[in-house]
Amino acid sequence: MAAHGLPESAFQIEVIKTTGDRVQDRSLSEIGGKGLFTKEIEEALQDSRIDIAVHSMKDAPTWRQSGLVLSTYLEREDVRDAFLCDSYNEVDQLPVGAVVGTSSLRRRAQLLARRPDLQTVEFRGNVQTRMKKLADGVADATFLACAGLNRLGHKEPMIRPIEPDVMLPAVAQGAIGIEVREADVDTIELLVPLDDAPTRKLLEAERAFLTALDGSCRTPLAGLANLRGDRIEFRGEILRPDGSERFQTTREGLSSEAAALGKDAADELRAKGGPNFFDA
């Protein structure tokens, strides 16, 4: 609306509940992976029931349905994870045996790598659902993405951002992508003013890393790219699900080499982990 001076009546928002939203009693790795957050939305796009699909890129698989393209990336929000707990300020203050709720294999693995004495429980649902579970005592603490908390206006004192050098975020965390039909030139043109070039470049590196590792919600891995002028700095890591083993690497190069940097980092970590690392 703002970019083109159009009235609200020019748009119709279609809310689509995906399988990933509806099934809350099992982990994503059990019910089919990240594609469960995009499948129904992409089907609506293919059928021309909608013209623009909006995705959280953290939940978007690296493959696209035929005829669809990610044309636009909005400016990225805060990439960090947040630690939520009423009684303690950080993970290291939690008592032995404390229960932490998380639906993320990555966060669970990173947590157990740091504190193998802690217990974890499945914590599915939207931000409000997870915060209610925490208030109800289902767990002593949990993690949420700062981006979602910021977008929803949550400013509670119990929300404490975690720096990436302590907990490396998920690939594409904080980024919103817009998907359209590849042949729909008019809609693609309409979206051009919304595209954020730096975010696109960062995600080239991160999603190339994810693709090379065949990453999904079944694979504990993390990756984050930063742009410094015309150069990209990338950090990536892979972990065993129980946190017993982790490998990390960094890359730096020209932003024009973003995808190559991500892939090269993935190749190194795959070699370090060995052929059976992702089988666990």
Convert the pLDDT of each residue in 118-172 to its tens digit.
999 998 788 888 889 999 999 999 999 999 999 999 999 999 999 999 999 999 9
Is residue 215 one of the residues assigned to a domain? yes
- Do 175 and 264 have their domain in common? yes
- Give the global pTM: 0.90
Q: Indicate the burial class of 180 (C-beta count within 10 angstroms; 0-12, 13-18, 19 or more).
A: buried
Q: Is 59 a catalytic residue?
A: yes
Q: Which of 59, 140, 184, 264 is catalytic?
A: 59
Provide the CATH number for the domain around residue 252.
Answer: 3.30.160.40
The strand pairing partners of 54, in sequence order, are: 178
Q: Is 67 left (phi over 0), alpha (psi -120 to 50) or beta?
A: left
Mean per-residue pLDDT, 257-280: 91
| Number of structural domains found in the chain | 2
Residue 33 pLDDT level (bands cut at 50, 70, 90): low
Is residue 3 one of the residues assigned to a domain? no
Q: Beta strands 159-162 and 81-84: pairing type?
A: antiparallel
- Do 248 and 138 have their domain in common? no
Residue 205, amino acid:
A
- Do 178 and 259 have their domain in common? yes
